[in-house]
A and B are shown apart, each in its own frame.
Chain A
Amino acid sequence: MAKYSLKINGKTQQVDVDPSTPMLWVLRDHLNMPGTKFGCGMAMCGACTVHLDGNAIRSCSLPVSAVGKGAITTIEGLSADASHPVQKAWLEHDVAQCGYCQSGQIMSASALLKSNPNPTDEEIDAYMSGNICRCGTYLRIKEAIKAAAKK
């Protein structure tokens, strides 16, 4: 076990966990932040996507010991009231079916738009293909990303 001081959603949080513990489980089990989802545990589905210093990363494969001073943003910290342009676009396009993958999709999409404010369809495909949606809402996700890009 080791103590870590983590910067999450603008707040500093302390945890005492095994250094190999993935950030996913630190968030879900130790910090009571279940918005970040468990899907595969091997960075193949994107359900656990969070931002580390603004970049989308798969938290299931990021040990807490590797976070260091990096700032983590989770779905809970993207906005206080679902007002981030990507969240608003998701609501406007009524994207979700089961909704389980959507926090990961939204975190990937918001990181994409930060680095590329006006992505082409191909760039969206390339960036988002790490996020699986089992319900098949891909078309609406793309529409929502393009709508959010215009905001």
Chain B
Amino acid sequence: MKNIDNKMQLKKTPPSGAGGLVSRRSFLRSSALAGGGMMLSFSWFSEVKAAEKVTELNIIEQWSELAAYIKITPDNIIKILVPNPEFGQNVMTSLPMMVAEELDCDWKNVVVEMGTHDNVKYGPQFTGGSNSVRMYWKPLRNAGAAARQMLIEAAAQTWGVSASEITTKAGTLSHSSGKTAKYGEMAAKAATLTIPKDIKLKAPKDFSIVRNSKKNTEGVKVVSGKPLFGIDYKVDGMLIAMIQHPPAFGMKLKSFDATAAKKMPGIKDIFSFKLYDDGFEQAGFDTRTFNEMIAVVGNSTWEVMNARKKINAQWEAAGDVKDTMMGRGGKTEKVVPGRLETTSQQMEMMAEYAKKPAQQLRKDGDPEAAFKNAAQVIERTYNAPFLAHNTMEPMNFFAHVQEDKAVVAGPLQAPGWVEPTLAKLLNLTPDKIEIQMTRMGGGFGRRAYGSYVYEAARISQKLKAPVKLIYTREDDMTYGIYRPMYTATYRAALDANKNLIGFHVKGGGIPENPVHANRFPAGAVDNYLAEGWEIPSNITIGAFRAPRSNFNAAAEQSFLDEVAEAMGKDPIDFRLDLLKRAKENPVGKNNDYDASRYIGVLELLKEKSGWGKPENAGKKRGVAAYFCHASYAGHVVDMVMRDGQPYVESVTSVVDCGVVVNPDAARNMVQGAVVDGIGQSFYGALTHKDGAAEQSNFHNYRMIRHNEAPKKIDVHFVENDIDPTGLGEPPFPPVFGAVANALFKTTGQRYYNQPFTTEQPKNRS
């Protein structure tokens, strides 16, 4: 089972080769700039001692090479490099805000650039798991604060006064005597000072940049069409490559004839290649959808597209395939079954597995007895299909592999995971591989799986030329790395007084079990059982915005709504009652969530949505709340029938993600998650026939569009001083549940199978 959430935790130890554990201060390094000025490097895992003075003088060309992190020029320009790749979560703005806050500089003087890739210097540099802000919250503020303290010390020495008498504001140092200086004036001297051992961070009440909305630092480039994205990457002499992959999961290449295709104009070469060599030990996020594919390489995209159509390829069943995986637990062998899957059969297989004994994930009390003695048992089963990520920018990557080095560039969420595999495939050491991180046209988890980088590298290696691999939309949609297919059966035991005395969840999927056993309502029910099972498959899957949670929230939150109804309780009050139990007298240990924060979100949601207020009595509303990625989110969805179709007209959203660094951008993110959730729950589905994806482009894979988005989404954040927790993912899962519950209010029918627009609802007693 791929437990994505856990893998996205911050690495606690440095990567091999970076030495042992280092002191907390050693991530900073200061040096002087040519022509004056200061550079504070960010070296997460380096062994530079705090007291060690770095006196090397760097020339301008070395700035980025040396991972300059904060750079202050004599003319007071403050350049901040961003360690994590940007895919729309707005790290190019929020992460520099955190530095600038503690540096106490003027935001108007800040220039932001994407950093270089170096996991030793920068840490994980991973975009995913709603981790960017939370993993860099302390390190980046420490960097800003250290630089500020050094600037103060430089001014103190220059003016011959005590540092304690100097204050800073918006990039200006001031002394009570009336002396002032811009940071730029003191930067050269500051760079020669020792990095302070005692870094003082601001109290949240003193924030003046963080918590104050700042516009996207790349906004102007976006609206003027500047080449920001991987697909825009270009070098002289670059060739364009496309891949012909087998037409179905479970198929492989038998033979092909490219004689006619090779004669097409602009075509350089057509050849088959293997992604991994036989017996290759795959790392956790390496995927092997198809191991042998045909590459078509030529001068321009259209020529390559046309030539690809002329290839005469024969495919055959691959049969069972043995994969060797290198995981945390060491080497394991995995047999990938060869069957060609069809959705109706997948559904039947899941229903069959759901009846078999499964792995017990958690048990509290005596659930068997609770269900045996129950006056009423409610049992419901929920299903959800595979989903394609459908990032607007299709997968693509640039690679230029030479004898002794390789440069790759493009959209990638986890460059640090790709690098070791790339090194093995190309027989190079990691230091000979340069990964350039471009802006990503969406990720949603898809770009955490770098097989398209390896494909580009393989093709470049063969041709000894710079190559940009591009997937067409059809390639992108039919090639996998889908959200898995899931099912879960929930059971609730009520006693004669309608008290909830037992709760049981049993879930499974192809090829992954979705159940989070230690999440709510675990901890709130005396007798609790969670079980899971999995069906291996050749359909490649991966993280999809809030992996597993995006299904669990749909199922569990719909189920709780139905249980509340059976108990004659208001759905919010019912959840609050359970959460109060979990807070005051929790059942079991290892409950993942903080019941107080959960309660806070539901109470604020109740208030902001006017839940239960007479003026909203006529509204068809659904509510859901969920916890994931250390944050809490809830929505109230107001639905109407419009032209005979259910339509979500307005939404009230509440999120507790701790300190909100950039509020307006955070609201944008939540609104986007709501729109995404409505779209996926209504329309999202990737189905199969004989192993082939039945959807290939936006004509048969329905995406939510302008006219289907709500008119209004009000977003509220719980105000507190808790260190930031996740935001990109947490608001997404509960949308599904809120939509399902609003559908019941609107149509009188419960919906159990996603996507909801294709379900034929059945009355259940």
A contacts, CB < 8 Å to B: 1, 17-18, 20-22, 25, 28-30, 32-42, 44-45, 47, 74-76, 78-79, 81-82, 87, 90-91, 94-103, 106, 121, 124-126, 128-142
Chain B residue numbers with a CB within 8 Å of A21 are: 300, 302
In the complex, A87→B88 CA distance in Å? 18
> Does B699 belong to the interface (CB within 8 Å)?
yes
Closest A residue to B712 by beta carbon equals: A139
Inter-subunit contact B698/A25 (CB<8 Å): no
| CB-based closest 4 A-B pairs | A35-B225, A136-B675, A100-B441, A98-B88
Chain A contacts for B226, CB-based, 8 A: 35
Contacts of A82 in B (CB 8 A): 220, 223-224
Contacts of B265 in A (CB 8 A): 1, 18
Q: B707, A98: Cβ atoms under 8 Å?
A: no
Partner of B672 from the list A25, A28, A36, A135 (CB cut-off 8 Å) is: A135
**Are B302 and A18 neighbours in the complex by a CB distance under 8 Å?**
yes
Q: Is the CB of B225 within 8 A of A96?
A: no
Most chain B CB within 10 A, of A1, A40, A44, A74, is at A40
A-B contact list, 27 entries, CB within 8 Å: A18-B303, A21-B302, A34-B231, A37-B229, A37-B393, A45-B392, A76-B224, A78-B224, A79-B224, A94-B216, A96-B216, A97-B88, A98-B88, A99-B222, A125-B707, A126-B707, A129-B705, A129-B707, A130-B705, A132-B698, A133-B392, A136-B671, A136-B673, A136-B676, A137-B668, A139-B671, A139-B709
Per-position binary interface string of chain B over residues 196-227, scored 1 when its CB falls under 8 Å from any chain A CB and 0 otherwise: 00000000000000000101101110111111
Least Cβ–Cβ distance between A44 and chain B, in angstroms: 4
Task: For the complex formed, measure the closest distance between the CB of B156 and the CB atoms of chain A, giving whole angstroms.
Answer: 39
Smallest CB–CB gap between A148 and chain B, Å?
Answer: 12
With both beta carbons as reference points, the residue of chain A lying nearest to B444 in the complex is identified as: A134
Which residues of B are found within 8 Å of A100, using beta-carbon distances? 229, 391-393, 441-442
Minimum distance in angstroms from A36 CB to a CB of chain B: 7
Rounded to whole Å, the gap between the CB of B232 and the closest CB of chain A is 4
Least CB distance, A151 to chain B, in whole angstroms: 15
Additional A-B contact list (8), CB under 8 Å, known A98-B441, A140-B668: A25-B300, A91-B215, A94-B664, A97-B89, A100-B442, A138-B705, A140-B671, A142-B706
Known contacts A87-B223, A134-B390, A138-B706; A99 and B439 CB within 8 A of each other = yes
| Known contacts A37-B441, A42-B699: A136-B672 contact under CB 8 Å | yes
B640 at interface, CB cutoff 8 A? no
> Is B440 at the interface (CB under 8 A from chain A)?
yes
User: A74 vs B226: C-alpha distance in the bound complex, in angstroms?
Assistant: 12
B285-320 near A? 1/0 per residue, CB < 8 Å: 000000000000000111100100000000000000
Which residues on B sit within 8 Å (CB–CB) of A140? 668, 671
CB pair B225 A76 closer than 8 Å = yes
Decide if B698 touches A44 in the complex (CB within 8 Å): yes
Decide: A98 and B223 in contact? CB cutoff 8 A. Answer: no
Instruction: Quote the shortest CB–CB distance from A74 to chain B (angstroms).
Output: 7
Which of B224, B226, B441 is most buried by chain A, counting CB atoms within 10 A of its CB? B224
- Give, as a whole number of angstroms, the nearest-CB distance from A63 to chain B: 10
Query: A94: which of B89, B215, B391, B706 is its contact (CB, 8 Å)?
Result: B215
Instruction: List B contacts of A125 (CB < 8 A).
Output: 706-707
| Chain A residue contacts of B665, Cβ below 8 A | 94
Question: Are A34 and B441 within 8 A (Cβ)?
Answer: no
Q: Does B432 contact A (CB under 8 A)?
A: no
Residues of B close to A87: CB separation below 8 A? 223-224
Q: Is B151 an interface residue (CB 8 A)?
A: no
Docked Cα-Cα span, A32 to B231, in Å, equals 12
Main secondary structure of the interface of B (DSSP, over half): loop
The interface of chain B, by Cβ under 8 A from chain A, is: 87-90, 213, 215-216, 218-220, 222-229, 231-232, 234, 240, 265, 300-303, 306, 390-394, 439-444, 470, 472-473, 664-665, 668-669, 671-676, 679, 697-699, 703-707, 709-713
Q: Which of A29, A94, A131 contacts B668, CB < 8 Å?
A: A94
Contact of B90 among A30, A47, A81, A97 (CB under 8 A): A97
Check A121 against B442 for contact (C-beta < 8 Å): no
- Nearest Cβ in chain B — how far from A50, in angstroms? 10
Bound CA–CA A103/B303 (angstroms): 25
- From known contacts A25-B302, A139-B713, infer whether A98 and B216 are also in contact, taking CB-CB under 8 Å: no
Considering residues A33, A87, A98, A141, which has the most beta carbons from chain B within 10 angstroms of its beta carbon? A98
The residue on B at minimum CB distance from A138 is B709
**B719 to A: closest C-beta gap in Å:** 21
Q: Which residues of A contact B711 (CB under 8 A)?
A: 121, 139
In the bound complex, CA of A55 to CA of B672 (Å): 29
B213: A residues at CB distance < 8 A: 94
Give the distance in Å from the alpha carbon of A95 to the alpha carbon of B473 in the complex: 24
Q: Is there an interface contact between B668 and A97, defined as CB atoms closer than 8 Å? A: yes
Question: Do A131 and B300 contact each other (CB < 8 Å), given the known contacts A36-B225, A75-B225, A96-B223?
Answer: no
Q: Which of B219, B703, B712 contacts A96 (CB 8 A)?
A: B219
Nearest residue in A to B698 (C-beta to C-beta)?
A44
The residue in B306, B392, B713 that gathers the most chain A C-beta atoms within 10 A of its C-beta is B392
Q: Which residues of A contact B393 (CB under 8 A)?
A: 37, 39, 98, 100
A47 to B391, CA, bound (A): 12
Q: Shortest Cβ distance from A35 into chain B, in angstroms?
A: 2
* Nearest residue, chain B, Cβ from A36: B225
B392 pairs with A134, CB closer than 8 A = yes
Pair A44/B302 contact, Cβ less than 8 Å: no
> Closest CB of chain B to A113's CB: distance in Å?
15
- CA A138 to CA B223, docked complex, whole Å: 15
B473 touches A39 (CB 8 A): yes
Known contacts A1-B265, A121-B711, A138-B675: A102-B223 contact under CB 8 Å: yes
A38 to B148, CA, bound (A): 44
Q: Are A99 and B224 in contact (CB under 8 A)?
A: no
Taking CB as reference atom, which chain B residue is nearest A21?
B302
Interface contact B223-A136, CB-CB below 8 Å: no
Pick the contact of B225 from A25, A34, A133, A142 — CB < 8 Å?
A34
